[in-house]
Amino acid sequence: MAKKRVAVLISGRGSNLAALIAAAEAPDYPAEIVFVLSNRSDAGGIAFASQRGIATAVVDHARFGKDREAFEREMQTELERRQIDIVCLAGFMRLLTPWFVGRWDGRMINVHPALLPAFKGLDTHERALAAGVKIHGATVHFVVPDMDAGPIIAQAAVPVAEDDTPDTLAAQVLKVEHIIYPLALRLVAEGRVTVVDGRARIAGRASSTSPLVVPEAG
């Protein structure tokens, strides 16, 4: 089967982008990262991708003022030009309108640094520490118009240590993001994920298994 053509949308560092690119180098990986789009020209991930020969573009949201759809129409033009099958949001820090989300229904996924539906939005690590949770983690989900609310494809948990700070916790969570994002993209690209009643069902996954990835404590 032809590999799915994937675009990764970023706003910054791009470590999840790097994890997706690394995974997609495996010959049997069902997707290839063919395009990286950023809303910020200084995003580290843009330089990283172009060094690897991947097409990149910057669509600066600030050029469009409050007109979010105009910003998204330009992104959409870029994505269509490159015949993209699947969009991965990887630290893309703009809220998307229902118009754009609708264009990519079932074909756009996001990584979020918390165990959804807990801690939607920003500053997840600070809020997890403030809440005193003992387990935190990361989620990959389909994107729907409501923020951080789409069907969950993969999650991974990390233990919260007594002396964790937002930064140390973020570093632990990021490690598992880099594991579950390539895994979730593989599942979606293989066509193994279907959404039934707002929940993602994964073909071939035994109903009795625990979460897809549970890293070791410590």
What's the rounded Cα separation, in Å, for the pair 153 and 186?
11
Through-space distance between the first and last CA atoms of the chain, rounded to whole angstroms: 40
Which residues 6+ apart lie within 8 Å of 108 measured at CB? 86, 87, 88, 89, 101, 142, 143
Find the binder of ligand GAR among 34, 59, 84, 91 (CB under 6 A): 91
Decide whether 30 or 45 has the Cβ nearer to ligand GAR: 45
Check residue 14 for interaction with ligand GAR (CB under 6 A). yes
Decide whether 28 or 174 has the Cβ nearer to ligand GAR: 174
Exactly one of 61, 112, 125, 178 is catalytic; name it. 112
DSSP state letters, 31-90 = EEEEEEEES-TT-HHHHHHHHTT-EEEE--GGGGTT-HHHHHHHHHHHHHHTT-SEEEES
Binding mask 51-90 for ligand GAR (x = CB under 6 A): ---------------------------------------x
What's the rounded Cα separation, in Å, for the pair 174 and 156?
10
Check residue 182 for interaction with ligand GAR (CB under 6 A). no
Check residue 150 for interaction with ligand GAR (CB under 6 A). no
Instruction: Tell me the residue nearest to ligand GAR as measured from the CB.
Output: 91
Contact yes or no for 61/39 (Cβ under 8 A):
yes
**CA distances for 59 relative to 43, 201, 207, angstroms:** 12, 34, 42
Does the annotation count 112 as an active-site position? Answer: yes
Find the binder of ligand GAR among 37, 111, 169, 187 (CB under 6 A): 111
What's the rounded Cα separation, in Å, for the pair 31 and 134?
35
Decide whether 103 or 112 has the Cβ nearer to ligand GAR: 112
- Closest distance between ligand GAR and the C-beta of residue 213, in Å? 15
Q: Which stretch binds ligand GAR (CB under 6 A): 20-28, 64-72, 109-117, 150-158?
A: 109-117
- Closest distance between ligand GAR and the C-beta of residue 98, in Å? 18
What's the rounded Cα separation, in Å, for the pair 108 and 190?
14
Q: Would you please indicate which residues are annotated as catalytic (active-site) residues? A: 112
Q: Which residues bind ligand GAR (CB under 6 A)?
A: 10, 12-16, 90-91, 111-113, 174, 177
